[in-house]
Amino acid sequence: MGSYELICVGCGVAGQHAAARAAAAGRRVAIIERSAAPGSTLAKAGAPPSRSIRETALLLAAHRDHSIEGINMRVPAGLSIAQFVARCLQAQTNAPIRINDELEQSGADTYQGDVQFIDEHTIELARAGGRVDRLIGEHILLATGSAPHHHSGVDFSNPCIVDADEMLKLPSIPADLTVFGAGMIGCEYACILAEIGVRVRLLDPHDHLMPGLDPDLRRVLVRSMLEAGVDLQLGADLRDVEPARGGGVSVQIERGAVYHTDVLMYASGRRGATSSLNLQQIGVETDKYGYIIVDDQGRTAIPHIYAAGDVTGHPSLAGEALSQAGAAVDQMFSLTPRRVNEDLLPMCLCTIPPIAMVGMTEAQARQQNINVMVGRAGLTPCRDRRTFGDEKGFMKLIFEYPSRRLLGAAIIGAEAPEIIHIAQAVIAHDGTFDYFIDAGFNTPTFSAAYQRAALDCAMAVARREAESRAA
Ligand SMILES: Cc1cc2nc3c(=O)[nH]c(=O)nc-3n(C[C@H](O)[C@H](O)[C@H](O)COP(=O)(O)OP(=O)(O)OC[C@H]3O[C@@H](n4cnc5c(N)ncnc54)[C@H](O)[C@@H]3O)c2cc1C
């Protein structure tokens, strides 16, 4: 029976980061992963694979929209998703090797197996071949991530009904795809597959896609989706899903319409991957979606057991998983304890065009009765920097009046996930719009939009002040 100062359960973004950080601080660490290949949802089904499909889709779209006579870049019928994303599958194959190397160098012991708690400090590890080991942990970090939510009554054994994690395993690219759930994952897949000519229908029971998204950005995203041919059916819940005669699925929505589709992809929510851990037995609490309830230091109801990453629920982003895992390790070993500053965590969405936001939205600032000023700018620097298919976009900066402090930024368009970090840094250092106006920016660049948005805001402020002087 091995004994450790820290046992990390789950070798995704959060588990790896925590294990490496604690091992680097000289602690005796073990990390346990259920699957044979370590590596997170992010590497296997998340951003890199979906971004890789996205990049390939944009390349093909570029050739379609700006064709050269004699060169045919159409997607051949029957092409499998695996062929289409061959580049990303290569990256996925390499990821476990890289992660194993990194963990070995960090000095953490790695185990493969399924985990169950025996008591608050003892973990049972069911290993291949029926072997069972027990490990004792002074501290334990739960980082088992999340899994797609499977609605009761939906037959996921039907190969034409898939969840987001199974999407990459489809034997061929469907001609017609119905996506249920217009959240982050549903919107990403709808945009990407529409870009390569798949007939895409996006259904959601709510009236808006992506709750929490700035409404100005949402308008641009909706326009882009409609232009790409996505059939957007909002306010449409599913009434019935049946296997269709001759293959595919027949989908009936509450309003009565019936669609025949090759593949129905459920992208309507995830759950904490906690059901097999035996958490109730030791008093670690979860909510009704299986997400572990933690305090603002990542601690569960049992003081030496922490949780980090997607297993703690919203917003389920890799950056957040990293920050939470690092903060939990610092807290448990008193290494400059700190709280995760959620206000500075950026979000990004790999739709076409992509989206990124950081800090407060305009609506959040107004809800807090902050006197808000907004600056806007287009995001099209010049023709040679444009990525085909990513040509639209705009930036919105939210400032406080009269302090002129930057409170938040929302960007839609090429490079949004990169350039959002400029706003993140300015917010972290209490910067004002004067910074953007006074700083020199390379041109033509997407980043230069910050200067134009700040100038737009400065002009609005000047108008507002002139009006109040005149009144
Ligand atoms: C399609 C898709 C697109 C995404 N796009 C983005 C994006 O653009 N940007 C972004 O920031 N995030 C994105 N995400 C989210 C991102 O993948 C997650 O936020 C991130 O992976 C969370 O890391 P984690 O360590 O908490 O969990 P995970 O990465 O899910 O890792 C959990 C690990 O625990 C293991 N495990 C589970 N149960 C057990 C057990 N009982 N015993 C042992 N091991 C276990 C799992 O096998 C897994 O390896 C996307 C996700 C998806 C699905």
Q: What is the DSSP track for 175-237? A: SEEEEE--SHHHHHHHHHHHHTT-EEEEEESSSSSSTTS-HHHHHHHHHHHHHTT-EEEET--
The token pair at 310 is 């997607």
Cβ proximity of 194 and 229 under 8 Å: yes
> Residue 241's pLDDT is what?
92
> Residue 388's pLDDT is what?
42
Query: Which architecture, in CATH terms, is 2-148+271-343?
Result: 3-Layer(bba) Sandwich (3.50)
Please work out whether the CB of residue 273 comes within 6 Å of at least one atom of ligand 1.
yes
Give the separation between CA 461 and CA 285, rounded to whole angstroms.
Answer: 49
Give the separation between CA 27 and CA 120, rounded to whole angstroms.
Answer: 20
Question: How many whole angstroms from 360 Cα to the centroid of ligand 1?
Answer: 25
Question: How many whole angstroms from 399 Cα to the centroid of ligand 1?
Answer: 34
Residues 6+ apart with CB under 8 A from 69: none
Beta bridge partners of 259: 251
- Which residue intervals of the chain bear CATH 3.30.390.30? 353-470
Question: How many whole angstroms from 342 Cα to the centroid of ligand 1?
Answer: 19
Please work out whether the CB of residue 50 comes within 6 Å of at least one atom of ligand 1.
yes
Please work out whether the CB of residue 216 comes within 6 Å of at least one atom of ligand 1.
no
> Residue 387's pLDDT is what?
44
pLDDT in tens, the chain (471 residues): 789 999 999 999 999 999 999 999 999 999 999 987 655 554 555 555 666 677 777 777 666 666 666 666 666 666 766 666 666 556 556 666 677 777 778 889 999 999 999 999 999 999 888 889 999 999 999 999 999 988 888 899 999 999 988 887 888 889 999 999 999 999 999 999 998 889 999 999 999 998 889 999 999 999 999 999 999 999 988 899 999 988 899 999 988 899 999 999 999 889 999 999 999 999 999 999 999 999 988 999 999 999 999 999 977 888 889 999 999 999 999 877 666 777 889 999 989 999 999 999 999 999 999 999 999 999 875 544 444 444 568 999 999 999 999 999 999 998 899 999 999 999 999 999 999 999 999 988 899 999 999 999 999 999 988 988 887
> Residue 386's pLDDT is what?
42
Cβ of 460: how many Cβ atoms within 10 Å?
16
The token pair at 48 is 């890199």
Which atom of ligand 1 is the closest one to the Cα of 17? 25
Please work out whether the CB of residue 145 comes within 6 Å of at least one atom of ligand 1.
yes
The pick from 17, 42, 275 for probing ligand 1's pocket by mutation, whose C-beta has the most ligand atoms within 8 angstroms, reads: 42
Helix (H) or strand (E) holding 414: none
- Which residue intervals of the chain bear CATH 3.50.50.60? 2-148+271-343, 161-268
The token pair at 429 is 């250092």
Long-range contact pairs involving 182-186 (C-beta distance under 8 Å, separation at least 24): 182/206, 182/209, 182/210, 182/232, 182/234, 183/209, 183/210, 183/211, 183/267, 183/268, 183/269, 184/210, 184/349, 185/50, 185/267, 186/265, 186/267, 186/268
Please work out whether the CB of residue 18 comes within 6 Å of at least one atom of ligand 1.
no
Extended beta strands in 10-96, E state:
29-33
> Residue 181's pLDDT is what?
94
Which residue owns the Cα nearest ligand 1 atom 27?
A: 145
Give the separation between CA 347 and CA 417, rounded to whole angstroms.
Answer: 8
Question: How many whole angstroms from 292 Cα to the centroid of ligand 1?
Answer: 15
Please work out whether the CB of residue 115 comes within 6 Å of at least one atom of ligand 1.
yes
Q: Kindly report the CATH number that applies to the domain delimited by 161-268.
A: 3.50.50.60
* Homologous superfamily in CATH for domain 353-470: FAD/NAD-linked reductase, C-terminal dimerisation domain (3.30.390.30)
Question: How many whole angstroms from 93 Cα to the centroid of ligand 1?
Answer: 16
> Residue 271's pLDDT is what?
94
Cβ of 43: how many Cβ atoms within 10 Å?
23
